[in-house]
């Protein structure tokens, strides 16, 4: 469905339409994904942290700064998110041996099991762009990168 029909609106120009279209699409996709995360008791930033920790677990413990650099939402309060995940038993955190101001953070077996159980989220993420060909996805990524430059 075209964006004009979806929101029953008009646009000043094609750039305005493109921005509204992009914003609307992101919010729609995000809402659907958040509903899936809710069934597992996680927020999107908590899920992001667990995925980062799983992806880098062979590199050893991660710091709060390391996690913050890799967050999709750069305004996230990573320390608070780590505290919440620690309370849930999904991660472990310890004082860094070299710098006591730092915390070493690792994903626990419970956190890994939860991510395994959340394969439906992984599948949903993979299927979001299913209507696009691989070449179209490559072009979409190129255009999105160009917008951020």
- Residue-range domain boundaries for the chain: 42-116
Residue 92: the pLDDT is: 95
Mean pLDDT to the nearest integer, 43-51: 94
Find out whether 129 and 140 touch, Cβ atoms under 8 Å: yes
Least confident range from 10-19, 72-81, 92-101, 138-147: namely: 92-101
**In angstroms, rounded to a whole number, what is the distance separating the alpha carbons of residues 50 and 54?**
6
Average pLDDT (87-116) is: 89
Nearest to 121 by CA among 21, 54, 22: 54
Residue 23's pLDDT is 92
pLDDT of 128: 80
The pLDDT score that the predictor gives to residue 22 is 93
Q: Is the pLDDT of residue 82 over 90?
A: yes
pLDDT computed for residue 29 by the predictor? 84
Contact call for residues 84 and 41 (beta carbons, < 8 A): no
* pLDDT band for position 13 (cuts 50, 70, 90): very high
CATH of 42-116, one of 3.40.50.10860, 1.10.1040.50, 1.10.10.10, 3.90.25.10: 1.10.10.10
Tokens of 131: 């209507």
- Distance from C-alpha of 23 to C-alpha of 20, rounded to nearest angstrom: 5
Res. 28 pLDDT band, cuts 50 70 90: confident
Calculate what percentage of the chain has a pLDDT beyond 90.
Answer: 55
The pLDDT of residue 94 = 87
Closest CA to 108 of 93, 122, 92: 92
């Amino acid at each position: 469905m075209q964006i004009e029909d979806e929101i029953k609106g008009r646009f000043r120009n094609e750039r305005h339409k493109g921005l509204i279209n992009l914003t609307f699409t992101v919010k729609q996709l995000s809402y659907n994904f958040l509903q899936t995360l809710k069934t597992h008791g996680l927020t999107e930033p908590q899920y992001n942290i667990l995925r980062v920790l799983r992806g880098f677990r062979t590199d050893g413990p991660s710091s709060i700064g390391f996690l913050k650099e890799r967050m999709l939402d750069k305004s996230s309060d990573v320390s608070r998110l780590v505290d919440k995940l620690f309370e849930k038993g999904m991660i472990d955190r310890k004082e860094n041996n070299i710098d006591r101001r730092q915390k070493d953070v690792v994903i626990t077996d419970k956190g890994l099991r939860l991510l395994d159980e959340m394969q439906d989220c992984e599948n949903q993420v993979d299927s979001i762009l299913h209507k696009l060909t691989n070449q179209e996805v490559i072009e979409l990524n190129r255009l999105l990168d160009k917008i951020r430059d």
